[in-house]
Structures are given as structure tokens and as C-alpha cells.
Amino acid sequence: MNINRLRQLYLKNKQIINYLIFGGLTTVISISSYLLARYVFAMHTVGANIFAWILAVTFAFITNKIWVFESRTRGISNFIKEMCSFYAARLFTLAVDISIMYLFVDMLGFNGKFEEFVIKVLDNVVVLILNYLLSKLIVFKKKD
């Protein structure tokens, strides 16, 4: 495959490719900041998880706004509105994440190490898709 074909493929799928790249980086930030908070700052798991979530979602907002959805808001009030809707959407998908894990692991008993891992992977796929759709259709919706 030549470089021009790769470029065309990228440009055709730019938004999704950038979303996956920055989503991967967001995951790295989430995990590494959680570990930093837990084992360097000796935070409790809940506090460490909240700390990691705030850093990861902030990184995701900035990268999604600039490079994924290329949102060009005008005025501070529009920027704040967009940011608040992004955080609200991510709080919603956090609730979905917690609900899926609680339902399948705690209530339905898929709590073996491998089963729980599979549920978490599937859960993350659902959350990833929901985050993308909420960002595309609500948060960074083009206002023509």
C-alpha cells in the first residue's frame, strides 16, 4: 500500500482514527494516574479512581475538541457549555460502566478472573461507543 493510499484512507476515516488514538492515550493516562495516586501519593482506591477519571476526562475533552471533532466554539460561555456537556456525558457513561460491571459481576456471578476480564472488555467497548456517539451527536455537534 503506497503513502497516498494510506493518506486517503486516513482522511476518509480521520475522526474515528483520531478518536481511537486519543482514546488509547486517555486509557494510558487513566491507568498511570491511578497507579501514581495509589502508590506514590498513597491515596485510597476511590480517591485515586476519581483523580484518574478527572485527569483522563480532561485530556479526552481537550483532544476530542481540538483533533477529533475539531470544534471551534466562540465565546467563553459556549466553551463552558460544551465542556459541561462533555463531562456530563462522561459521568453518564461512567454510570453505565459501573452498572454493567455490577450487574454482570456482582449480581449475575460472572466473577471468575477470566469472566470478569471478558465482561470488563465488553463493557469498555460499550462505553467507548457511547462516548463517541454522545460526543459526536450532542457535545461537539456541528451547529450549521
Q: What is the model's pLDDT at position 36?
A: 96
Report the distance separating Cα 143 and Cα 12, nearest Å. Answer: 21
CB contact at 8 A, 34 and 53: no
Report the distance separating Cα 87 and Cα 68, nearest Å. Answer: 16
Q: What is the model's pLDDT at position 144?
A: 54
CB contact at 8 A, 37 and 52: yes
* Set of cell numbers at residue 137: 451527536
Which residues of the chain have a pLDDT value below 50? none
The full set of domain ranges for the chain reads 1-70, 75-144
Q: What is the model's pLDDT at position 142?
A: 81
Report the distance separating Cα 67 and Cα 3, nearest Å. Answer: 21
Report the distance separating Cα 40 and Cα 55, nearest Å. Answer: 16
Count of CB atoms situated within 10 Å of the CB of 75: 8
CB contact at 8 A, 22 and 64: yes
CA neighbor of 21 nearest in space, from 51, 54, 66: 66
Q: What pTM does this model have?
A: 0.90
CB contact at 8 A, 110 and 119: yes
